[in-house]
Structure 1
Amino acid sequence: MGSLLVSFPEREAFTKGIPCPPTSLLLLWNFPHTVGSLPIGYLGIPIISSRLRLRDCSPPVDRVSGRLASWLNRGLSYAGRLQLIVSVWTSLQVFWASYLCLLKKVLNVIEQKFRTFLWRGIEGDSKGEKIYWSDVCLPKKEGGLGIEDLSSWNKALMIRHIWILSYGINNLWFSWIKAYHLKDSNLWEAKTPCTCSWNWRKLLYLRPLVRPLIQHYIGNNSITSLWFDNWHPDGPLLSKWSPRVVYDSGLPIHATVSSIVHGDSPAAMSIDLFEIRSRMPSYNPNSNVNDRARWLPSSNGTYFASSALASLRTPHPFVPLFKLVWFPQDIPRMSFILWVAIRGRLSTRDRIHKYNPTAVTTCVLCNTHPESHAHLFFECLFSRAIWTQLMNICGSPWNGLCWNSFID
């Protein structure tokens, strides 16, 4: 026993499946505990085995609401609100998203609060969004604002646990999972039991996303699974060949790569086995080095959340104008407005007229021509005068520019 003493007045006792009342049981044992009630939390995370519910995730939702509410009606620019959203998500949500597969409804509630705050700066619904949130969450080089999609970010952080199990990082959680959930089965073949916890079930559902991202390299061949791990050039063997190949080989389902790397032929050689052996690279196993797993999306082979997130994303075309909008010396407020303008979503009078036919469409500056993006930036008399003076300062004549050619 260590030197730590239990502080009984600060502890709670929980009972389950005992016919007598909990208070009577505590009196019988003479324990000065108080009777606690489920669910409970540890370090702010709910400890539950049942399905995660919306009320279990109220702390992060309430914290987001509280943090954003403190900045409502402050007259912040779009760029200021954007920076606050990034800081709030980074500081408050990463801890929860690293340990729980959050409900889609929870992520939608948080996302809705971010959308409303970004575009309106007030509480209420998210009407009046200028640009789809899916486009906002794209990287800047792909035409977005660089905000991470909450669902993908949650998956990227949870993938770390699968990496730990695959890499074999020896810690308490790894040992408990191996003893209680996996037992003698391989991570990639483990079934999803009906009685397992919500979080473990959701974690197993992520395996198809992770499996192609982890490559196993052979050392002393002690732990790499012959049939399930991704060590062969064709990938996991049982993902390409049928389970019949296991029967034909005469090798057990839990055989390691050492069963065939050392040149030992299986009891029987089917056509599939010949193909597997013929496509195997020539290994020179080093008995002094353990088998190791490599995280393929990362250059150094180690898991990083950013690399996991990049592997989950569907890449979009590169937007050349992003360097014109975002650069080290940019003014964030101006860059944001230019980004909205390039997408053609500024509240110009021609766009307002589509929703309000009685609205005036003439330019607010020259009061002559209809106000549009092209007119406002290049065709208006005021815009031309400004461009002419700027180009004179630069020592070059202003020959005019078309808005469509500019954004293309």
Structure 2
Amino acid sequence: MQSLVRKVLFEACSGLRINLEKSEMIPVGRVLNIEGLALELGCKVGGIPSSYLGMPLGAAFNSLAVWDGVEERFRRRLAMWKRQYISKGGRLTLIRSTMSSMPIYLMSLFHLPRKVRLRLEKIQRDFLWGGGTLAHKPHLVRWNLVCLEKRKGGLGARNLSLMNNALLCKWNWRFANERDALWRSVISLKYGVRGGGLVYSGCDGKKRVAFHLGNGQKVKFWKDKWCDDEPLCESFPSLFSMSMSKNAWVSEVWNPVGDGSGWTPLFARAFNDWEIDLVERLLQKIQAFRVQREEEDRVIWTASNNGAFSVRSLYSMMEPGGLSLFPSERIWKVYIGDYTLFMLDFIDWLSFRLWLTTLLNHILTADHGKRIAVIENEYGEVDIDGSLVAAKTTGAEDIIMLNNGCLCCTVRGDLVRMISELVNKKKGKFDHIVIETTGRYFSQTTLLS
């Protein structure tokens, strides 16, 4: 009866309704008669580690068990997709929109262990190249290239490691700006704040962090970036070496007395004649800045126009450069509502990647468990039939044919159909045959599975 009264009072005060079928009583330490207490309340007995509102409860933050739920959701989602045929373009869309977004919340709180990252990436790779059955098929392009942005030569899939770092770096930004937040006060009291200033360390985007000058009490005059694209200690290293207060705050170098208010940096000795010019350049650089006593110093993110931090901008900055000459504008065109044209763009991308990979000798070899024959053929001069037989004789399981004749667009379709029919007859035990036809005005890839 008492438990029923407590339940009614709790629901009346909180406005929430208790679902006892989903509720658990978790003992901390040794609790006597825990089963009797749970029976009286009408709930189950649980244990640690557990899950609360989708978050792990009681598990170590670096434990692999924290991520078991994410991997299980990956596989459950694939179980829904593998019953239906999905083309490579559709698989890529699902990877970018759904699979890469599943672990986002956990990655914003915890460091992603390497073992978990490799397992999640393997699921995505197998799904992209093998389909919903996760069958093992050759991955025609390395995963780190697939994860590049389209303008850099990739397909725009997320790199989980870079995304994890970008999400965690956002806490540095929030710590510097949300000064009245309860969580910040708890961390400051527990671990302390070094130097009392705005410290923004441990982040790959530190070079993109600058300071908007307010009262100058939390910005270093020499060591922080507040008046230029680099700190004054880097712009004027010789003057910095002569400074009497290398760790001085901006407010300590500013003299607000009377009409002669201005900057008064102190140096250990008098200047030589050749150093006067450096001092004049320093004063000219900082002359336009003034300390505002009523305004707080602020951290700004120079990678965005409004000065606010964004995970997208940091992720793009941390991402490798990719191919500077990649013809992304020619390959990825803007189409609305035409999925077939998107698939043609995907084929163009794969064609270019296969050609580049073959050229740089990065294609799959026997070390990857597959023997692949690459036949560079100029149409009309090499016996395609004989080349296929020779490749099969050497034990190759996959074959890639590069036809580099300068053919006009009118014969492209006939050529691809002719080679496709010939290859189908001679395919034998080949797992995959990729035919790339390149000409003066076109480039097309045909994948026969």
Fold equivalence (TM over 0.5):
yes
Residues 313/236 of structure 1: CA separation in 2 closer, same or farther (3 Å cut): farther
1:209 partner SS? coil
Contact kept, 8 Å, 1:362 with 1:370, in 2: the verdict is no
In the TM superposition, what are the counterparts of 1:6-405 in structure 2 within 5 Å? 12=25, 15=28, 21-23=30-32, 37-47=47-57, 50=60, 52-124=62-134, 127-183=137-193, 185-186=195-196, 207-226=202-221, 229-231=224-226, 233=228, 234-235=230-231, 248-249=244-245, 256-262=249-255, 269=268, 279=282, 281-282=286-287, 283-319=289-325, 321-329=327-335, 331-344=341-354, 355=371, 372-374=401-403, 378=407, 383=412, 403=439
1:158 partner SS? helix
Instruction: State TM-score, norm by structure 1.
Output: 0.70
Distance 1:4 1:81 in 2: 44
Instruction: State TM-score, norm by structure 2.
Output: 0.64
Distance 1:87 1:132 in 2: 20
Matched to 2:160, the amino acid is L
Higher strand fraction: Structure 1 or Structure 2? 2
The count of corresponding residues between Structure 1 and Structure 2 is: 360
Distance 2:204 2:270 in 1: 30
Matched to 1:222, the amino acid is Q
Contact kept, 8 Å, 2:405 with 2:438, in 1: the verdict is no
Residues 26/117 of structure 1: CA separation in 2 closer, same or farther (3 Å cut): closer
2:32 partner SS? helix
Distance 2:63 2:327 in 1: 43
Contact kept, 8 Å, 1:344 with 1:373, in 2: the verdict is no
Residues 116/239 of structure 1: CA separation in 2 closer, same or farther (3 Å cut): farther
How far apart are residue 109 of structure 1 and its match?
0.9
Matched to 1:235, the amino acid is P
How far apart are residue 75 of structure 1 and its match?
2.1
Matched to 1:258, the amino acid is S
How far apart are residue 141 of structure 1 and its match?
1.5
Residues 258/14 of structure 1: CA separation in 2 closer, same or farther (3 Å cut): farther
Is the radius of gyration larger for structure 1 or structure 2?
2
1:166 partner SS? helix
Distance 2:237 2:386 in 1: 69
**More displaced stretch, 366-375 vs 257-266:** 366-375
Distance 2:33 2:235 in 1: 56
Contact kept, 8 Å, 1:112 with 1:126, in 2: the verdict is no
1:344 partner SS? helix
Question: Where do 5+ consecutive residues of structure 1 fail to align?
Answer: 190-203, 388-400
2:157 partner SS? coil
Distance 1:239 1:67 in 2: 54
Distance 1:373 1:84 in 2: 31
How far apart are residue 211 of structure 1 and its match?
2.2
1:294 partner SS? strand
% identical aligned pairs: 23
Contact kept, 8 Å, 1:188 with 1:207, in 2: the verdict is no
Contact kept, 8 Å, 2:212 with 2:299, in 1: the verdict is yes
Contact kept, 8 Å, 2:331 with 2:349, in 1: the verdict is yes
1:307 partner SS? helix
Distance 1:386 1:88 in 2: 39
How far apart are residue 24 of structure 1 and its match?
7.3
2:98 partner SS? helix
Contact kept, 8 Å, 1:186 with 1:228, in 2: the verdict is no
Contact kept, 8 Å, 2:166 with 2:311, in 1: the verdict is yes
Query: Over aligned residue pairs, what C-alpha RMSD do you find?
Result: 4.8
Matched to 1:137, the amino acid is C
Distance 2:145 2:342 in 1: 18
Distance 2:51 2:234 in 1: 40
Residues 57/245 of structure 1: CA separation in 2 closer, same or farther (3 Å cut): farther
Residues 4/181 of structure 1: CA separation in 2 closer, same or farther (3 Å cut): farther
Residues 261/26 of structure 1: CA separation in 2 closer, same or farther (3 Å cut): farther
Matched to 1:292, the amino acid is R
How far apart are residue 367 of structure 1 and its match?
7.4
Distance 1:310 1:264 in 2: 38
Question: Where do 5+ consecutive residues of structure 2 fail to align?
Answer: 1-11, 256-261, 357-362, 389-400, 417-436, 444-449
Deviations 1:212-250 (A, max 9, x none): 2210121122333457643364438599989x979942x
Residues 140/12 of structure 1: CA separation in 2 closer, same or farther (3 Å cut): same
Distance 1:25 1:268 in 2: 71
Contact kept, 8 Å, 1:142 with 1:316, in 2: the verdict is yes
